[in-house]
Amino acid sequence: MPPEVTAAPLIDATSNQEQRFARAFAMMEEAIAAHAFPGAALAVTLGDRLLALRAFGRLTYDAGSPTVMPETVWDLASLTKPIATVSMAMLLYERGKLSLDAPLVELLPEFANPADPWRKLVTVRMLLEHSSGLPAHRKLYLEADGRESLLQATARVPLKLAPGQHAEYSDIGFILLGWLLERIAHEREDVFCQREVFNPLKLNFRFTPHPVHPIQFPPTVDDTYYRHRVVQGEVNDENASAMGGVAGHAGIFGDALSVARFAHCILRGGYPLWQPETIRLFTTRATMPPGTSRTLGWDTPSAPSQSGTHFSPCSFGHLGYTGTSLWCDSERRLSITLLTNRTWPDATNQAIKEVRPRVHDALMECVES
C-alpha cells in the first residue's frame, strides 16, 4: 500500500467569479448557442486558489436534456495521457523501475521485428515525446477482438518514419507505453492509477466502461459506424473501447474540479506524490527532434496554439479529442481546464478550435486585470 499522503488544499475563491470572468463566461454561452458544443465545464486556478468553477449548457442540444453541473463527469479522452499514463510513468521512474532511454524491444519483445531494424532504436522517451516514428492512428479495433488481441496488433504497427527524426502525435505510441508500464508494474493501469494517484489526491477520476447510470454522463457520439449506439458513459475512442475502456491513450472520466486539482498538484512541483525535479523533467520542452513542441507526455504552446496567446513559454498542456483540454503555466502557477462534448452528435464539428483559444485569452485577461 502507498504511504498516506495529504494533498495540498485548493482554496475556494469563486465567490466573485460571475463578475470577474463575465466576458469569458459570455463567450462560452455564445459558443453553445452557436452549437460549438452542447455543454461545458471550466475551472481556473491561480496559486493555491480556485478562481472559477462553472458549468454551461446541457448534455445535448435537446432543450429537455439535463443541464451540465460543475460535478458532471466527462470523457477526458487524451487527457488520459498526462493524467494517468504519464503520472504512472513518473512514479515508476522515481522508483527506479523505468529507464527513459531503454529500448522498447527490451521491455516489449512483441514490438521487435527482424525485418525492421529501426524498431530497435525506439525508446521509452520517444514514446513519451511522440518521436518514435509510429503513425498517429490506426483503426486497430476493426482487426482485433479484445484487449490482448488489440495490444498484439498495436505491437505490429509499422513505423512511418525513422525514430527520433520527427515529432508526430501518436495514439499508437501511448497504447504501447501503457502496456509496457503495466508490464513493469505487474498490474493494469486503471488499478495502479486509482491506488497510487487518484485516491491519494482525492480525484474523481476512473476508467469507466459502461457505468451503472450513463445518463449522468454527457454523450460523445451517436456511433453509426462501429458500436451502432449512442456512446454515453463509455469511452469514445474506438481502440480504447475495444480494450475494455482501459488504455494508455484514452479512457479516463472525470470532472472539472478534479482536473484542476491535478493541475494544482503538478504546479506545486508534484507535492505530495512526485519530486519537483521529476515534474520539471517531464514538463520541459524536448530539444530533439528539431522543432518539436513536445515534452515527456505534454505539449507546449507553439503559434498558433489552442492555449491562446497569453500562456508563458514555460507552459504545458494537452487536448482531448472529445473537446477537453488542460493548460498549465508554471511561471504564473495558473491552470485552465475546459471540458466539453464537442463531438456530439458526431466529430465533424471543429468550431472548438476557434472558441478555445479565444476563451483562454479572455480568462487570462480576466485573471490579470
Rg of the chain in Å (alpha carbons): 20
- pLDDT for res 5: 66
Low-confidence stretches of the chain (pLDDT beneath 70):
1-5, 209-215
C-alpha angle 358/80/259, rounded to 5°?
55
Q: Which of 172, 324, 156 is nearest to 243 (CA)?
A: 172
- pLDDT for res 16: 98
- pLDDT for res 8: 78
- pLDDT for res 1: 41
How distant, in Å, are the alpha carbons of 4, 60, 257, 271, 317 from that of 8?
A: 13, 35, 14, 7, 21
pTM: 0.96
Residue 187 grid coordinates? 498490474
d(CA 179, CA 148): 10
Q: Which of 328, 352, 348 is nearest to 339 (CA)?
A: 352
- pLDDT for res 216: 79
- pLDDT for res 211: 56
Three-state secondary structure call for residue 237: coil
Q: What is the pLDDT of residues 210-247, one digit of tens each?
A: 555 666 799 999 999 999 999 999 999 999 999 999 99
Domains and CATH numbers, the chain: 11-73+200-368 (3.40.710.10), 85-185 (1.20.58)
CB-based burial of residue 303 (10 Å sphere; 0-12 exposed, 13-18 middle, 19+ buried)?
Answer: exposed
- pLDDT for res 6: 72
- pLDDT for res 2: 47
d(CA 101, CA 201): 29
CB-based burial of residue 312 (10 Å sphere; 0-12 exposed, 13-18 middle, 19+ buried)?
Answer: exposed
Q: Which of 85, 84, 13, 113 is nearest to 53 (CA)?
A: 13
Query: How many CB atoms are located within 10 Å of the residue 35 CB?
Result: 12
Three-state secondary structure call for residue 80: helix
- pLDDT for res 4: 59
